[in-house]
Structure 1
Amino acid sequence: MASTSSSAAITASPTVNYDIFLSFRGEDTRHTFTDHLNDKLNRQGISTFRDNEEISRGDELKPEIEKAIKASKGSIVVLSENYATSTWCLEELWKQQKNFKLEVKTSSKWTDDNVKRWREALTRIADLKGDQVSGSEVAFLEKIVDDIYHNKVARKLVDLPRHLTGMNARHEEISSWLEPSDIKVLVIFGMAGSGKTTLANYIVSLNSQYFECTSIVKVMGSISTQDNQHELLRKFVADLLGEGKGKWFDRYTIDRALKMKKALIVFDDIGEPNELEYFLGTGDINKQSKIIITTSRNNTHNWLQTRSWSCKEYNMQLLNNDEALELFSLHAFGFKIPKEGYEELAKEVLQYCQGIPVALEVLGSSLSEDVSIRHWKSTLESLEKDMHDRIHSVLIVSYNSLPNNLTRELFLHIACFFVGEDKDYVEQILDNDYSAPSGIKILTNRCLLFVSPNNKICFTITHFFSMLNFQPSDILTTDSLKKMDILKLLKLKDVHLTGNYKDFSEDLRWLCWHQFRFPTIPSSLFQGNLVAIDMSCSNLELFEPPIVLQSLKTLNLQGSKSLSAIRSIYRLPNIETLILRDCDKLVHVCESIGGLLNLVVLNMERCTSLHWCLNRPIRITNAILGRGSAQQTSFSLPHSLVWLFLSDCVLTNQGNDHPFLQFSGQPNLQYLDLSGACFQFLPSYNHLKTLRVLELSWCVLLKWLLDLPTSLAELYVYSCSSLERITFKSHRFTLKEFGYGGCNNLLEIEGFIKLVPIAKLVETDLRHMAWLKNYQYHEVSLVGDDELTLYRTKQIQMLYEFGITSTSLPDIKDPNMIYEYSSESPSVCFRVPSCPENKRLIGLNVSFKYTKSGDDDPAWFVKIRTNNGVDYMYNPHVFGRPRKGKVGIWLSFWPIGSKLTTGDEVNVSIIVMSEIMEAKECGASFVYVEDDETMEINMPWVETLGGDLSAFQLSTGANYLCRRDFFKVMEVGRLTRGWLSILVGHTIDDREVRGWRKTGRPNTSFNPSQVESSSPSLTELQDSPIDLTRTESSHPSRTDSSFNPSQTESSRPSLTKLPGSSSTESKKF
């Protein structure tokens, strides 16, 4: 008898219904040995599948038997005298992919294919170690069943909570790691209490039967003493070799066991690399073994580099709202949803717990002891003042693990004052006292905080950590602050302090006092060591530094509605950032501002009452001048400008010499914001060799943008309702990000698309399609995947893209619609004929008819392939949506004549991957011209069918001509997950077609941090704690997925991310 384990991929599959599949020869052992074996297995709780029907020799394998084989974890093959004579048994062996010897007579009716696979199956069975029945059958069966139960079927007993909400979803995300591959290690990292240990144990519970042994080592600092080290190592060896072999061992024994055994090992809560080395020694383990590491560090991949191990890292995500509500409800009420009347209180708990499983479990169990609403409210109120002991005991572990008191203090300062602030801003304030850059790196590596892509410092559970050491006082007075003689950071809001300020700490480095109530800053307040002052929305009427403030680098007075004057600003010689946004009563700024040589950021947006008194240029890197300010200023902009914001200024075309449009004196500009201005055109910016970002949204009179510089990486023209045309100096589309929702009249984006009404084209433009002029006033509703064409009803348009000319028509009847080759199906195949005399083949017309239901955009491609290597698949950026119940026609011309030769076999097919669209028939015809006739393409760009398409070429050589991201369509459920395989087969990695296809973009993408040292990065400017630009309510965001041009100014159109752009979150401007 041979017993085998399943050869299926090592994943927990819901289709596994049986522990053991019994394969046997019925006439030999059905009512004897196999019957006894089956009974013993069932008594042990091992589920089995066996077929009780006699099968005629030579019959085909039943589908339900084949399904049972696949649904079993393992199999037992009972070899008897006549086993190998049964084709049924042999087919079972082959299906199991386990494998002896088969001799076949020449006159056999079996096919060569049958014989080949049966011989392979039997050969593999012969290689397995089996058990031979001898002596007592009862004792033999008991031994076999006991071995199967303990070594093959029984799951590893692991410590799991009663409710495993969210674990299955997270297991599915990483289950592919368990399949055979070179990736040996899974690192699950995250904050304390996030469920890392539970997930690791859950993986073991589902998959232990696929390994020879499993071991869960709970490290958690336990190897700090020699006794603890020895005990953990003893348990580890016992798990690998068996309980009896864990008493005496040495390093050689451990290394040998790791090499021999196919093991699933968990090292729980590893904090240092030496802890891993202690258990793994040389690191030479069985190639089929898998290791799971849970840790609060996010840099563990560095630990494995010396072992040349590849690892998969998984950032343990906290529970989402639905999961959190379910877990809490299970503990609090005993079922998955809150009890009626407790919904709002449950929401408060979720907000407090912020998705932390341990917090949800503890509070749910605690509140279940008394379900009165009064008790719940009282408990929730107390939690705002003090943390539950069990939650505290979990979270304090991460805090206590920090290497020194300095790092702990830095952590508390950030948790209490600087969550959501710009990292560079925080480092500027805390560096001198707390070595902030290195400290923040330590905190990030310990998963106690993270820095977002826009450089903000973020905590997942801020209010928990702010309660770890202390509670802030409810009442602050000057007397109480007097006692804080080493106070360095002070944050107040709408607080009125009476008394003398002279005894404030001279160590104060950061003063954040929102809604400051005094008209001036008290002169007795010592400000000599302040690095930053933030007095947003204050009642200040005058700002005048009492002394020279050498250390001050940031001053934020935005929203101070009473502020009328800023004086003696020369006393801020090292100021870098000055924010005066929305100070609408400000009428005077000291002219000495021109002498501030270190000024980097100046934000004066919506300073509508300002009268400038400046006689010389300011040496600044950023200037933001508010609505109306442009007409009141008389100074010239400095040559050193890199970032220039003139949003909502009254800018009009006043000739080419208009200073705010030419920017001839600012050759280093990288960011230019002219949004909301009133002009019809812009001069050429080719002299701006370093311009990267151009913001022109809501310039409603702007008609065209011509010869944009090749350096431009980002362009935003949201709601430029008059804009018709955009061209580039290089004649190539090289943008990495492009936002253009609400541009209802935009017809041409050079190198991208050109969309022209046929009524505006002459017959010479249309050439062989000139007959379309007869239908130029027919209307078609245009659709696409972006805001340019979404549900715009237009007269019939001609689209030029990739050199392909196409249009969408209603179901017209015209003799020109009769094709040489046609089919009622969505594909047609034909050969290239000999070219007529004095004619030259220039291309191919392709057309098909279709119907569409629903409002969603369907996914479809036209594929043209030949037997000599031509391979195109094309999805047009724009096409027509026929009316409900009507038929639409898509007509196109492909200029591929030079690639076709007589006799080539051409296959044209329409691939539809959405149920809402049906292709009914298609046709194709060759297009010829006279030998001496030329035919110019309306889009003479590099990326055409006759030009360089390398940026669109897949690894198979096929050209994927598409600028839509169908994976986004798939993610919202409008496209089947198998769409790519339908289109290109199984040989293409989906990463090749994710996002928009590259279109000749620069090899090196623009990095906003690579600007001059005197200027902040794009992230620093746009996402700093001080908002330098406009409010969200007055400017379109680039993050939403939809946009309606009819919306008001507060609408939020989507940002189009183009190939080569970074994967960071979209930046708000």
Structure 2
Amino acid sequence: MASSSTNLNAQSKFDVFLSFHGEDTRTSFTSHVVEALRRKQIQFFIDDKELQRGEEISPALLNAIETSDISIVIFSKNYASSTWCLDELVRILDCKKRNGQIVVPVFYKVDPSDVRKQMGSFGEAFVHHERNFPCEVRVQKWRDSLIQASNISGFHDSRSFRNDAELVEKIAEDISKKLEDMADPPNFDGFVGFNSQIERIKSLLCLELDDVRIVGIWGMGGIGKTAIAEAVFHQISSREYSNHFDGKCFMRNVREESRKMGALYVRDEAISRVLGESNLKIGTLTINSYIWKRLRRSKVLIVLDDVDDNFIQELESLVGQLNLYGPGSRIIITTRNRGVLGVNSIVYEVKGLEHDKACELFCRKALSRKNRSDDLLELSKKVACYADGNPLALEVLGSSLRQKSKEQWYNKLHDLTLISEPRIYKVLKISYDELSPKHRKIFLDIACFFKGEQVDNGTDAIEGIFLDLSKTKEIRLGFEAFENMSNLKWLKFYIPEHCDLSTMSFRIMFDGMLSEAFWDTSHLNSRAIRESRSIMNQRVSNKFPGWLVEQEHSGHLGDED
């Protein structure tokens, strides 16, 4: 990212700040360094316009120096003739002393001893400075800074390289390595229960093989797909694999970015990052042969995060054929929609956290180490059950209950609108919005009928009936009971999980045609029960199209009519 000091804001943060003499190297050596950094996706600041400069460095430029991790100082023949460059150098070395900023000096066609002793063109520049700047303190700071910089390890002899291209490449590699060593490892503390899934994805990638492989990470919203992909991307991009891939990119929020910027833009941006070219524009689904030739010569790592149906064509053009990339290339796709993953993909489904891991994650968010009383831990287990292992739900609910009273915890647990927590709702609504109208209706039916709401029988408003068999010994059903229920779709007999089946017996009696649906499960195993339920559904549906009769748990059902 090349920026000018005129549009830099106080919050900017760069990997590299470039200090150079514009007339000497702007359109030659420095421009090649800039392109090499860009290819490696290193964010840098360069004062890339000929600005009208005053006596003092602008606050924006000072901020750029302060907020960069590394400064590259390119000493060229006329570097010392610029008071602006010398003031930059003073500030850069001050940041090195105060903040530990890394400084990389590059002596481009100048002798480091001339810089150190202010001889040659550097000596001539100081004759001029001492005549024009009576303030000896400022001039002495410049001299001291040149001496200090010349003693810092860097690229001291540009003539030892065969050509500028080799020198530029070595500089870019050195900067990339330094940035990698400086980078803080990502904090995986919140990845409770994810380590095994991360390792599973890495095993599916088979990095030791030279084939081209696509791995799809599939699961519901909030389940942890992106977090797992980020962890895998970081680990296989780490120092151990620093020379493993020729190009790599992590395309976040493909669904959202495609809708804002266009799917082709996202596709082109992925290719641009992998090839290390800025602003590469293809603009059509068909990718020209020149680009493909370059990609086929490259071993790449691409992560496409949150892909949906709107990116199908672009995904096909990007990863539709495995021979489009060099041997050993790996592509990771995260999605909520199993259908976007082609036949060439190895699909891994992300499951919710196991109960103990879900409790652990929730407790990290909801309870401090000093406030883990037995009663709150017991309530935590109930919340974990409610969240059904979804990490996003656990984190949001945990944060909402942190430092709350026990009474507030109880109130929250009894509130069936927990799912309306904004972050959870937003993530889950995405999955709902992408359903077809038919599947939305099915989803709403299931969501309503299986929430356990109690409804009195008797009108055409009834769409589902649930019969708790633990509360009755005997029940008789006939057609007349359902005459006014023209919209009835679900008839469910069930026994709550807390009931002791071994001591229970009950009878359901069906009159008339309904008796054809009778089935006895007293002697059946679970497979036979499923088969008999299927037969019953078939029989009932002949009389009541659209009905589903469901039995939970085994019991003794008998028919006397």
TM-aligned CA deviation for residue 394 of structure 1: 1.0
- Paired with 1:300 and 1:342, the residues of 2 have a C-alpha distance of 42
- Paired with 2:265 and 2:186, the residues of 1 have a C-alpha distance of 19
Q: Report the equivalent of 2:445.
A: 413
Question: Would you say the 8 A contact 2:518–2:536 is kept in 1?
Answer: no
1:170 matched to 2:197? The reply is yes
Secondary structure (helix, strand or coil) at the match of 1:185 reads strand
1:1026 matched to 2:554? The reply is no
Closer/same/farther in 2, CA of residues 187 and 207 from structure 1, 3 Å limit:
same
Q: How many residues align?
A: 368
Q: Which amino acid aligns with 1:526?
A: E
Question: Would you say the 8 A contact 1:327–1:360 is kept in 2?
Answer: yes
Question: Would you say the 8 A contact 1:399–1:408 is kept in 2?
Answer: yes
1:276 matched to 2:305? The reply is no
Secondary structure (helix, strand or coil) at the match of 1:412 reads helix
TM-aligned CA deviation for residue 282 of structure 1: 5.7
1:239 matched to 2:265? The reply is no
TM-aligned CA deviation for residue 168 of structure 1: 2.5
Q: Report the equivalent of 1:199.
A: 228
TM-aligned CA deviation for residue 520 of structure 1: 7.2
Q: Which amino acid aligns with 2:307?
A: I
Q: Which amino acid aligns with 2:300?
A: A
TM-aligned CA deviation for residue 185 of structure 1: 0.9
Q: Which amino acid aligns with 1:187?
A: G
Secondary structure (helix, strand or coil) at the match of 2:415 reads helix
Closer/same/farther in 2, CA of residues 534 and 275 from structure 1, 3 Å limit:
same
- Paired with 2:357 and 2:434, the residues of 1 have a C-alpha distance of 29
Aligned pairs for 1:600-999 (under 5 A) are 603=520, 605=522
TM-aligned CA deviation for residue 287 of structure 1: 1.6
| Alignment equivalent of 1:211, drawn from 245, 260, 263 | 245
Closer/same/farther in 2, CA of residues 1014 and 346 from structure 1, 3 Å limit:
closer
Secondary structure (helix, strand or coil) at the match of 2:248 reads strand
- Paired with 2:456 and 2:535, the residues of 1 have a C-alpha distance of 40
Q: Which amino acid aligns with 1:267?
A: L
Q: Report the equivalent of 1:289.
A: 329
Q: Report the equivalent of 1:401.
A: 434
Q: Which amino acid aligns with 2:446?
A: I
Structure 1, unaligned stretches of length 5 or more?
Answer: 1-42, 47-130, 419-462, 467-471, 495-512, 538-557, 580-602, 606-623, 625-644, 648-670, 674-1007, 1018-1023, 1032-1069
Instruction: Give CA deviations for 1:226-273 in whole Å, capped at 9, x if unaligned.
Output: 842344234313311225353677722543443232211011122234
Structure 2, unaligned stretches of length 5 or more?
Answer: 1-99, 104-154, 496-503, 539-548, 557-561
Secondary structure (helix, strand or coil) at the match of 1:355 reads coil
Instruction: Give CA deviations for 1:528-564 in whole Å, capped at 9, x if unaligned.
Output: 9778865679xxxxxxxxxxxxxxxxxxxx9446x8x
| Alignment equivalent of 2:297, drawn from 260, 271, 280 | 260
Closer/same/farther in 2, CA of residues 532 and 299 from structure 1, 3 Å limit:
closer
Secondary structure (helix, strand or coil) at the match of 1:382 reads coil
TM-aligned CA deviation for residue 410 of structure 1: 1.0
TM-aligned CA deviation for residue 362 of structure 1: 1.0
Q: Report the equivalent of 1:180.
A: 208
Closer/same/farther in 2, CA of residues 158 and 225 from structure 1, 3 Å limit:
farther
Aligned pairs for 1:133-152 (under 5 A) are 134-135=158-159, 144=170, 146-150=172-176
In proportion to residue count, which structure has more strand? Answer: 1
1:347 matched to 2:387? The reply is no
TM-aligned CA deviation for residue 373 of structure 1: 2.2
- Paired with 1:376 and 1:672, the residues of 2 have a C-alpha distance of 43
Question: Would you say the 8 A contact 1:258–1:285 is kept in 2?
Answer: yes
Query: TM-score normalized by structure 1?
Result: 0.30
Q: Which amino acid aligns with 1:262?
A: K
Closer/same/farther in 2, CA of residues 672 and 385 from structure 1, 3 Å limit:
closer
Question: Would you say the 8 A contact 2:463–2:485 is kept in 1?
Answer: no
TM-aligned CA deviation for residue 392 of structure 1: 1.1
Q: Which amino acid aligns with 2:173?
A: D
- Paired with 2:460 and 2:326, the residues of 1 have a C-alpha distance of 64
Q: Report the equivalent of 2:352.
A: 318
Q: Report the equivalent of 2:71.
A: none
Secondary structure (helix, strand or coil) at the match of 2:446 reads helix
| Alignment equivalent of 1:360, drawn from 387, 394, 403 | 394
- Paired with 1:377 and 1:357, the residues of 2 have a C-alpha distance of 21
Instruction: Give CA deviations for 1:881-909 in whole Å, capped at 9, x if unaligned.
Output: xxxxxxxxxxxxxxxxxxxxxxxxxxxxx
Instruction: Give CA deviations for 1:40-85 in whole Å, capped at 9, x if unaligned.
Output: xxx8889xxxxxxxxxxxxxxxxxxxxxxxxxxxxxxxxxxxxxxx
The structure, 1 or 2, with the larger RCO (C-alpha pairs under 8 Å, 6+ apart) is 2
Closer/same/farther in 2, CA of residues 320 and 153 from structure 1, 3 Å limit:
farther
Closer/same/farther in 2, CA of residues 515 and 172 from structure 1, 3 Å limit:
same
- Paired with 1:167 and 1:559, the residues of 2 have a C-alpha distance of 44
Q: Which amino acid aligns with 1:193?
A: G
TM-aligned CA deviation for residue 379 of structure 1: 2.5
Question: Would you say the 8 A contact 1:189–1:294 is kept in 2?
Answer: yes
Instruction: Give CA deviations for 1:702-726 in whole Å, capped at 9, x if unaligned.
Output: xxxxxxxxxxxxxxxxxxxxxxxxx
Closer/same/farther in 2, CA of residues 179 and 199 from structure 1, 3 Å limit:
same
Query: TM-score normalized by structure 2?
Result: 0.53
Q: Report the equivalent of 1:650.
A: none
Closer/same/farther in 2, CA of residues 522 and 328 from structure 1, 3 Å limit:
same
Secondary structure (helix, strand or coil) at the match of 1:312 reads strand
- Paired with 1:221 and 1:267, the residues of 2 have a C-alpha distance of 10
Closer/same/farther in 2, CA of residues 477 and 322 from structure 1, 3 Å limit:
closer
- What RMSD in Å do the two structures reach over aligned CA positions? 4.9
- Paired with 1:317 and 1:536, the residues of 2 have a C-alpha distance of 27
- Paired with 1:278 and 1:157, the residues of 2 have a C-alpha distance of 35
Instruction: Give CA deviations for 1:848-893 in whole Å, capped at 9, x if unaligned.
Output: xxxxxxxxxxxxxxxxxxxxxxxxxxxxxxxxxxxxxxxxxxxxxx
Question: Would you say the 8 A contact 2:212–2:329 is kept in 1?
Answer: no
Instruction: Give CA deviations for 1:897-928 in whole Å, capped at 9, x if unaligned.
Output: xxxxxxxxxxxxxxxxxxxxxxxxxxxxxxxx
- Paired with 1:389 and 1:249, the residues of 2 have a C-alpha distance of 37
Question: Would you say the 8 A contact 2:474–2:506 is kept in 1?
Answer: no
Larger Rg: 1
Q: Report the equivalent of 1:958.
A: none
Aligned pairs for 1:266-665 (under 5 A) are 266-272=303-309, 273-280=312-319, 284-299=324-339, 303-304=342-343, 309=344, 311-333=345-367, 338=372, 342-368=376-402, 370-383=403-416, 387-404=420-437, 406-417=438-449, 476-477=455-456, 482=459, 484=461, 487-491=462-466, 493=468, 515=472, 523=480, 525-526=482-483, 559-560=505-506, 571-572=512-513, 576-579=516-519, 603=520, 605=522
- Paired with 1:341 and 1:604, the residues of 2 have a C-alpha distance of 41
- Paired with 1:216 and 1:672, the residues of 2 have a C-alpha distance of 49
Closer/same/farther in 2, CA of residues 492 and 205 from structure 1, 3 Å limit:
same
- Paired with 1:560 and 1:482, the residues of 2 have a C-alpha distance of 27
Question: Would you say the 8 A contact 2:254–2:307 is kept in 1?
Answer: yes
Secondary structure (helix, strand or coil) at the match of 1:402 reads coil
- Paired with 2:328 and 2:494, the residues of 1 have a C-alpha distance of 61
- Paired with 1:239 and 1:515, the residues of 2 have a C-alpha distance of 67
TM-aligned CA deviation for residue 293 of structure 1: 0.9
Q: Which amino acid aligns with 1:1026?
A: Q
Secondary structure (helix, strand or coil) at the match of 1:269 reads strand
Closer/same/farther in 2, CA of residues 672 and 317 from structure 1, 3 Å limit:
closer
Secondary structure (helix, strand or coil) at the match of 1:376 reads helix
TM-aligned CA deviation for residue 411 of structure 1: 1.6
TM-aligned CA deviation for residue 202 of structure 1: 0.9
TM-aligned CA deviation for residue 286 of structure 1: 1.4
- Paired with 2:232 and 2:480, the residues of 1 have a C-alpha distance of 64
Question: Would you say the 8 A contact 2:412–2:418 is kept in 1?
Answer: no
